[in-house]
Each structure stands twice: as C-alpha cells, then as structure tokens.
Structure 1
C-alpha cells in the first residue's frame, strides 16, 4: 500500500482546495460517517474541535465516551475492561445503524478499534490509528510496556485509584498540550483509566485490521516513548499507509484543523470503495 507523509499546516487535498486549486466540495469528497474514539484518561469531549469542523463540512460524526471515563466516570469499576470498551463502540455502530464508518482511534483506542474491526468489520469502511498503540492478539496493554512503567501504573492504581483505575500518569504538556488554556481544559477533564483495560488481553480472530484499509497517523512533536515500538512496527510494514502530523500526541486538541482536513482526505480516498 502506498505510503505518504503529511506535515502540519495546510495539508493534502483539503489544503489544495484552500489554495484555490480545487473546489472544497471536490476535495472533501462525499459526506462520510466518522466515529472518533478517545484514548486513555480522556473522553468524547476531547474531539469537540475536530468534530465541529467535520460536521461543518457535511460529515456525520460520533464521539462516544468509553465506560468509566469522562462524563461516564461514575461507571468505573474493576469489571470495566477492554471488552467493555470494544462493546461500547460495537453497540454504537449497531444501535445507530451505522454503515461504511471511518473508525478513528487515538492512543489507547488503537487497541479498542482493533477489537471493533475484528467483531464488526461489515459496518466499517476504513480504520485510522491516531498516534496509537497496537497489540498482537493475546497481549494486554501492560505486555509491551517497560517494567518500570507497569510498576508506576500499578502503584498509581493502588495509591490513588482505589484499585479500580489509574489517574493520568502524564501532565498535559507530555501529551503535547502546551497552550495554557488548552492545558487547563485537558487537565480538568482527565479521569482515571479503568484498571481492567490494562490487564485484559486483546483477542483477535482475524489479522490486525480484519482486511480493512488502515492508516497510521504519527504525531511527530514530543514523541511518547511507549509508542515507539508501535511506530517502528508500522514503518516496517508495507500494509500500512503512514501519514504524519507535526504536532503533539493530543492532535485533536493541538492541531484540530489539520487533523480534520487529513481525516476528510482519508475518507474521500475510500469513498467509492
């Protein structure tokens, strides 16, 4: 599969349209349906800037909050695990009767959307992994983390999470969010990550992606060490389309415009398939 790189700023077909070379409606392609899944400690709230831009271009956008996080933090318990979060998204697809979905997963949610694709590929058109983690079947989130990171997270769960979740181990700046107002917004909305999501292995029946087109968007500003093995794996695998954004890990906060343009471009590239 052909690889292309994109650097933050005016990008891709949407950027060409902005330069007046292609009508914006043509660059954006036909309206698509997006489901944008947040990463650890976040909630659907983090996608608001990207979702508003995509909706303004005529796309349909869902930003579910996974069980136990964000405005659903009151549901956190030891029973909330990776399967719970996969079911959250599969059930959204089913009960909203969604078809031909562009499914986007940020960070931890790369694992979630891998599970969704394994169970509900017929409802999906393509997968987009935004600076995300990938797991082989049979491995848990902790499997590939360095032992020191695992111990740090387990200690946080014991000391501050009441045994059910881990508070955010990183400040907003570590996610690449450095604007003071944005950092304050992110900090006040981060909630503990359910412990079961760290411990439960991902179990896949089909290969990663289940035959769907898949793109990895690498955020090149302030890289996070725990993502480097995943990124090396993607770079070495010609089965992935690789794109890049010169921004921090929380691209939906720090670069919502370029990210929305890129997502619309990727959707347009498979709109006829």
Structure 2
C-alpha cells in the first residue's frame, strides 16, 4: 500500500510539473480579455499594427485594425472629398456594425484627432482612450492650425506639386517616423500612401470636452521626438486629467517596439489601470 501511495504521489507531482511546463510554454492570456481598436496615423494603414495585433490576440484580446478611407489598401478611394469627418465616420461605423462595446480605442499620431472625434460621437461604446504619440487639437482648429507656418507651407507646396489632382500629401520617408532598421524601413516604405489633404484642412468640431469624460492615457515616444507634437505633449503634461506613460522608441512604436507597446497596452487595459 505504501508503495502504491508513493507511486501515486510521484505521478501526481510529475503530472503537476508537466502541467506547469505546458502552461509556461503557452502564450500568456489575459485574465479579462479586452477589445482593442487600433487606429493608424497619416500615410499609414491598418497594416502597421500587425505585430502589435498578433501579440494582443495571443493574450486573448479582440483586436481590430481599420484602414481609414483613401489610405493603405483603400488608397483607391482617395479624393478631395476625404476629410477628418470621413475618418471619424470610418471608426464609428466599425464600432456600430461590429457591435463593439467597452472598447479600448487607440489612436496613433494623426489618429489622435480621429479618436477624439469618435469619443464625441459614441462614448457609450468606449471604455478608454489611448493616444500613442498622437496629436490633439483644440475644438474649432484644423491640423494645420497648430503646425508651424513653415511646415504648413512646405506641406501645401508638396501637395500642389505631387498631389496628382486628388488633393494628397506625399508620404514622408520611414526615418521621419523613427524607423531606422533597414528591413523595417523597407517594409514601411512599401506600404506608405499619400494622405488626403482634407484631413489637414477640416477643423475638429466637438460637442463635449475633449475625451467626453472617458479615461485618457497619453503614451509619449521619447526616441527622436517630433517637433510638431511638442505643443500637444506640453498640453498633456499640464493637465492632471491625463495619465502619461513613455516608451523609449521612435514615433512608429508599433513597428520599432511592438513587444513593449503590446505590454503597455495590456497593462493599461487591465481593470486596475482602467479604473484609476
């Protein structure tokens, strides 16, 4: 009997050890999965989130990466009529037609303006807002309103010269987004597409204060800071209503630091973080 008990106990210990090893080998899964909608910035598309989306899905989260009208694989839809309202509507329609609720809405760069417009329209579908090295606008201002005059003139000149009659700004090189690895830079360069000029010119109109009462986090990418973002970052630092986090990487963090960004988004989506 004693021998049988010893063998039984040893088998149990071995089984527990194998179970523990199997658990370690499996991708970490979130205790309470979240729904993320990741919105890309100017010249990009949903493609840029692929590395982050894969990591979040491995953790059990639902992830949507819409491409805004006129960009990426939807570049054939570019026209002078595409503007900020178009892109806000793109995301609102995704939320409504997919019947998404309690969404962690993430906006990168230009999409900071987009998600602000979305929060003004459908706050009931959102749980929190995350601005990834993103732009903020005062209501009534356009994207060009907060750009230095020299930058505005340079952009308008480029649009006149290379817009091809559809009112578009040619993409900047990958290095402008902090993407320096040759393979990553080649991948990004292959996918960048012109940005509809209407998105620069149309002002942001909000009915409620920015964020519409939702929790807001700003993630600042501290590698190779972009000058046009400095007014936004100063505004965030001066406002106690923001949670501020940092990533030591370039502007395109989803390309240059997908693992670190995925960890940070997972942490922000955790119940303790979202309730703070």
TM-score by length of 1: 0.89
Inter-partner Cα distance in structure 2 for 1:34 and 1:167: 29
Task: List per-residue Cα deviations over 1:186-216 (Å, max 9, x = no partner).
Answer: 1111000001000000000000100000000
2:170 maps to 1:167 = yes
Q: 2:123 aligns with which of 94, 98, 121?
A: 121
Match of 2:191 in 1: 189
- 1:143 is paired with a residue whose SS is helix
Inter-partner Cα distance in structure 1 for 2:274 and 2:73: 36
Match of 2:70 in 1: 68
- 2:164 is paired with a residue whose SS is coil
Judge conservation of contact 1:125–1:270 (CA < 8 Å) in 2: no
Q: RMSD of the TM alignment (CA)?
A: 1.5
Judge conservation of contact 1:105–1:130 (CA < 8 Å) in 2: yes
Judge conservation of contact 2:112–2:131 (CA < 8 Å) in 1: yes
Judge conservation of contact 1:136–1:202 (CA < 8 Å) in 2: yes
* Residue 161 of structure 1, CA deviation: 1.1
Unaligned runs of 5+ in 2: 1-23
* Residue 29 of structure 1, CA deviation: 3.9
* Residue 135 of structure 1, CA deviation: 0.2
Unaligned runs of 5+ in 1: 1-19
Aligned length: 249
- 1:40 is paired with a residue whose SS is coil
* Residue 272 of structure 1, CA deviation: 7.5
* Residue 162 of structure 1, CA deviation: 2.0
Inter-partner Cα distance in structure 1 for 2:92 and 2:138: 20
Match of 2:132 in 1: 130
* Residue 173 of structure 1, CA deviation: 1.2
Q: 1:152 aligns with which of 148, 154, 167?
A: 154
Which runs of 4 or more aligned residues in structure 1 lie more than 6 Å from their structure 2 counterparts after TM superposition? Answer: none
- 2:73 is paired with a residue whose SS is helix
Structure with the bigger RCO (C-alpha within 8 Å, sep 6+) is 1
* Residue 171 of structure 1, CA deviation: 1.5
* Residue 269 of structure 1, CA deviation: 3.5
* Residue 174 of structure 1, CA deviation: 1.8
TM-score by length of 2: 0.88
Task: List per-residue Cα deviations over 1:87-129 (Å, max 9, x = no partner).
Answer: 0000000000000000000000000000000001000000000
Q: 2:111 aligns with which of 104, 109, 112?
A: 109
Counterparts of 1:228-239 in structure 2, within 5 Å, are: 228-239=230-241
Inter-partner Cα distance in structure 2 for 1:54 and 1:24: 10
- 2:143 is paired with a residue whose SS is coil
- 2:144 is paired with a residue whose SS is coil
